[in-house]
Structure 1
Amino acid sequence: MRLYVGFIFLSFGMRGEEISATVFGDDVEMYDKNAQQNKEYEISNAKLRPVREEYKKKPNELEMQFTPYTVIRPLFVEDGGTSVINYVDLSSIALDFDNKDLYDVVGVILYLEPIRSIEKRNGSGQVDVRELVLLDHSITHPVTITVWGDLARDECQQLSAAIESA
């Protein structure tokens, strides 16, 4: 007989659907440190799918499967209750923004180009570059984002692995 120790994350979508994720085994300790009861979190890089018919309690139930790339972060700062995440629509980002500006966006990656190396303008070597094509609800034409260096190698590789495993 096996004993599974676990806990459940519950989330409710805008259309009333229930989304649950059950964590078992060694993952309990890892996620237990990052999640507290009655707190709100952003969960990214998790797979969503309908609950199997034999386990449904009500219509529109979804289950969330965590992957090695799943990230859980709080929506609000403990002391002031202010949001740590400020999502913006792609359409609200000006074309002439400062390259030091940071934006939180939610979108669908339509295409992730393979990584390639290009020669630096000053001739001092090569740099890795990758393009991703992104779309959100605020625009009708996708946006192409060019990603350089470590971002092209590391973070985009995680995105690529998550896409391939879906």
Structure 2
Amino acid sequence: MQSKGYKVKVKVIHKAKPKQSPGKKRYQKLLLKDDEGTVMKGAIFHDDIESFDSALKRNGEYEISDAPITVIPEQFSSKVGELQMNFNDRVKIIPVSLNNCSDEPQYTKLSAIPVAEQKTEQKNEMLLDILGVVLFVSETREVNVGHNIQHVRDIYITDDSSPRPMVLSAWNDFTRQECETLSGWAQSSMVVGFVGVQPVTRKGIPFPLLDNIFF
């Protein structure tokens, strides 16, 4: 079943940098929100990443139609039955600012779009969504990875599930503006959501790797 015959109006509230899975599959993650506040993940794969680079901008509002909606495999989702909008060359995208209709079209709710059958195996690594209070952000340190110098900052957060704080590791570009913002929020017990956290294990210890930050 294909998710056709619908039109939604959404805002791109987050657009991550393109990544490559261990299976050499290039992908880019998005977060979309409609007027009712429903949030849905989006995904672009392979060469379509460049094709949609200018068509979908962060904080832009768009009319989108005919994008297949699939259920994210459980090992890659943050909850059971989580849905994802997939973008390919058949998807129609129009910036809301270019809609000259005098009457607003009848948009479909994100929650009401039919789900397409999942036919392709996804090999993306598991991603987690985390919510917690920011306690402290460390200074930037340098780490030598494969003879390349990487910049890392540790973000300490806590929630009511454990007396121990969790440490998230932000790398390279995310050690700058985003971490400076988080450091300021640490003084006011701000609750922050982190989307797309990749769990990794080092020396047998779980270690969340943060390379997508969404406030």
| Range class of TM-score, shorter chain | 0.3 to 0.5
The structure with the greater share of residues assigned to strand is 2
Q: Which has the higher contact order (CA 8 A, sep 6+)?
A: 2
Give the TM-score taking structure 1 as reference length.
0.41
Give the TM-score taking structure 2 as reference length.
0.33
The structure with the greater share of residues assigned to helix is 1
